[in-house]
Structure 1
C-alpha cells in the first residue's frame, strides 16, 4: 500500500453559495460547490504537494457522487469512501449580507456522514499515513462518529503517527458541557492542537493566550498553535514560544475555510520539518489568501503560490521568546 503523508475524514456537504450579497429569501440562483473542514484541509495539503487520503460516508445520491468525484479530482485519495442509502448527503447554504457578515445554514441532521461507524475504518489504510488529522466536528455528528474518531486515534497512536487536532467547534451540534468534555479528551491524545482563541478559552477556562497554551501543555508534550485572526497566531512548545504576525488582507470576501487553510499550512510545515516559526507564518499567509476569495477551497494556494505571496507581503515583525 502506498504510504500517505496525511489521512483525514469527516463530513463534506454540498454547498450552495449565491453570488449576490442578499438575504437568502431574495436569492434565486445558487451555484453548486462543496465544503467540509477535513476535505478542505486535504485539498489544501494536496495543492501544497503532499499525498493525502480523505474518506467519509456519503449518501448514495447525486450529491454524494458529486462530492466524491470533485474531491478525487483535486488529487486527494478517496478510495476508502463509503456510500449508504440509509441517509442523504448533507447540504449547507451560505448567506452573505456584507463583506464581514456571513451566515451559514446547515442541513445535516441524520445525514449520511453521521452514520460513520468505527468498524468502517480501514486500519491498514490509516496506519499507512504519517499524520492523522481530526476535527471536533466529526464527534459532534453522532455517537457512532465519536466512536469512529476515538478508534482512528487509537490506530494512530498504535502506529506512532502524529495526531493533529483542530477543535473547529460547532456549538449548534451538541450541548456545551459534552462538547467541552469530548474536545478535551481528544486534545489529550493529540500531538498538535490548533485552536482559535475563543475555542481555547472555551476548552480550558483560561482567558489569556499564554495561559490557554500552558493549560493544553499540562496534558503532555504538545505543540500548540493558536489562531488569532488578523493578529496572526501564537505557538507554544516545551522549547519555544512566540507570536507570528498576520498578513494584511485588502478585503475579506469569505472568511469560511480560513482555519482549514491555516491547518493545511501547519501540517505542511511539519511534514517538511521546517522551523515552527516559518511554518506558522506560512499558515497565516494561507489563511489570508483564503479569506480574499469566495468559497471554501477556491483560495487554497499551491506551494509556489503561497511562497510568492509571502515574499511580496512581509507583514509585521514576529515576537519570539
Structure 2
C-alpha cells in the first residue's frame, strides 16, 4: 500500500434548502482523504488543522470511521471553518466561507524524514492559495515534492466567492500555474480549464495545458457529458453515466479525483501506460463520482458503497 497525503481544509458544510439547515463534515481535501481511505487500496493521510469547537469531535468520528491516518493532523485554537452551501433547482451548489482553523496549519512541525515517507500528494485545497499558514505550508510541500521526486496531483478547486475581482482571479491563475506545470495528475472542471488557460474553446485549452506539461494525465470533468483527457499528446473522451437520482453535486469532483488518485497510484500510471489504461481508470472514477451525487453531502455516499 502507498502513502497518499491530501493537504488542505476540513470544515463544516452548512446546507440551506427549503428554509432548512443541516451541517455536515466537508472540505475538498478532507473529502478526498476520506474517499481514498474508504477505498482501502492505499493508506490515506489528511494533512490539515482541526478547529477547537464542538465540530472537532464530529470530524474526528469521520477520521476514525474511514481509518484516515492522523500523523499530519494538527489542532488549532481557532473555531472550525464554515462553508455555507446553497443548492439551486439543478442541485448545483454555491459557497460562502467563514474561514478560521483551516488556515492555521504549519508544515514545519513535521520532520523531513516523516515527509520523505510520502508516496503521493494531492494538492486539492479550495483555500490553500489564500493567505495564511496553510498557504505557506502548501508551497513548502510543493517544493519538497519536486526536490524529492514525489508524484503529486493538482485540483485548483476554484471558488468564485473567494476570488471575486479581476485582480484576484488573475492572482489565482498565477498561483495555480506552477502546480499545473509540474503535476503528474491534473483535474479541472470545464470552467476552470477555460479560466486558467484564458482560452474559450475546450480542445484548444487542453492542448495549451498539454503543451506546458506533456507528461501529466490531464482530466477535465464536464458534468454528465464526459471526461476529456489529455494523455501522451492525444485527447481522449471517456463517457460518464447519467445519474437519474441526482441529489447534490457538492462532492462529485472530490469523489472523481479520489478514485482517480487511488487508481493512478495503485496501477502505477506512467509514461509507458497505454491509452486503454487511462480510459479504464477514468471510467472507474466517473462511476465512483456517479455514486456521490445520489446523496446530500460530499461524503454520505461512502456509507452506501457496499450496498
TM-score with structure 1 setting the length: 0.83
Which structure 2 residues correspond to residues 133-152 of structure 1 after superposition, within 5 A?
A: 133-152=122-141
In 1: Cα distance, 2:93 partner to 2:202 partner:
26
1:207 aligns with one of 190, 200, 215: 200
Residue 169 of structure 1, CA deviation: 0.7
In 1: Cα distance, 2:255 partner to 2:141 partner:
23
Residue 277 of structure 1, CA deviation: 0.5
Cα offsets for 1:242-268 (capped at 9, x unmatched): 100110210320000100001012112
In 2: Cα distance, 1:163 partner to 1:97 partner:
34
In 2: Cα distance, 1:60 partner to 1:180 partner:
33
> Which residue in 2 is equivalent to 1:233?
227
Residue 287 of structure 1, CA deviation: 1.5
> Which residue in 1 is equivalent to 2:7?
9
Is the CA contact 2:218–2:231 (under 8 Å) kept in the aligned structure 1?
A: yes
- Is 1:243 aligned to 2:234, yes or no? no
Is the CA contact 1:194–1:227 (under 8 Å) kept in the aligned structure 2?
A: yes
Residue 239 of structure 1, CA deviation: 5.1
> Which residue in 2 is equivalent to 1:315?
none
> Which residue in 1 is equivalent to 2:44?
52
Structure 1 unpaired stretches of 5+: 306-321
Cα RMSD after superposing both structures: 2.2
- Is 1:183 aligned to 2:176, yes or no? yes
Residue 121 of structure 1, CA deviation: 4.3
Residue 142 of structure 1, CA deviation: 1.4
Quickly say closer, same or farther: Cα 1:64–1:304, change in 2 above 3 A: closer
Give the number of equivalent residue pairs: 293
Quickly say closer, same or farther: Cα 1:5–1:219, change in 2 above 3 A: same
Quickly say closer, same or farther: Cα 1:95–1:172, change in 2 above 3 A: closer
In 2: Cα distance, 1:138 partner to 1:105 partner:
12
In 1: Cα distance, 2:233 partner to 2:10 partner:
37
> Which residue in 2 is equivalent to 1:89?
80
- Is 1:282 aligned to 2:280, yes or no? no
Quickly say closer, same or farther: Cα 1:103–1:222, change in 2 above 3 A: closer
Q: Which secondary structure state, in structure 2, belongs to the residue aligned with residue 152 of structure 1?
A: helix
> Which residue in 2 is equivalent to 1:222?
216
1:124 aligns with one of 113, 129, 132: 113
In 2: Cα distance, 1:299 partner to 1:131 partner:
25
Quickly say closer, same or farther: Cα 1:301–1:234, change in 2 above 3 A: farther
Quickly say closer, same or farther: Cα 1:165–1:102, change in 2 above 3 A: closer
Residue 68 of structure 1, CA deviation: 2.9
Q: Which secondary structure state, in structure 2, belongs to the residue aligned with residue 207 of structure 1?
A: coil
Structure 2 unpaired stretches of 5+: 270-276
Cα offsets for 1:9-45 (capped at 9, x unmatched): 2111123336xx41xxx33xx4442001111111111
Which structure 2 residues correspond to residues 261-272 of structure 1 after superposition, within 5 A?
A: 261-272=255-266
Q: Which secondary structure state, in structure 2, belongs to the residue aligned with residue 139 of structure 1?
A: coil
Which structure 2 residues correspond to residues 7-86 of structure 1 after superposition, within 5 A?
A: 7-17=5-15, 21-22=17-18, 26-27=19-20, 30-49=21-40, 50-85=42-77
Residue 195 of structure 1, CA deviation: 0.7
Is the CA contact 1:4–1:53 (under 8 Å) kept in the aligned structure 2?
A: no
Is the CA contact 2:11–2:80 (under 8 Å) kept in the aligned structure 1?
A: yes
Is the CA contact 2:7–2:125 (under 8 Å) kept in the aligned structure 1?
A: no
Residue 122 of structure 1, CA deviation: 4.3
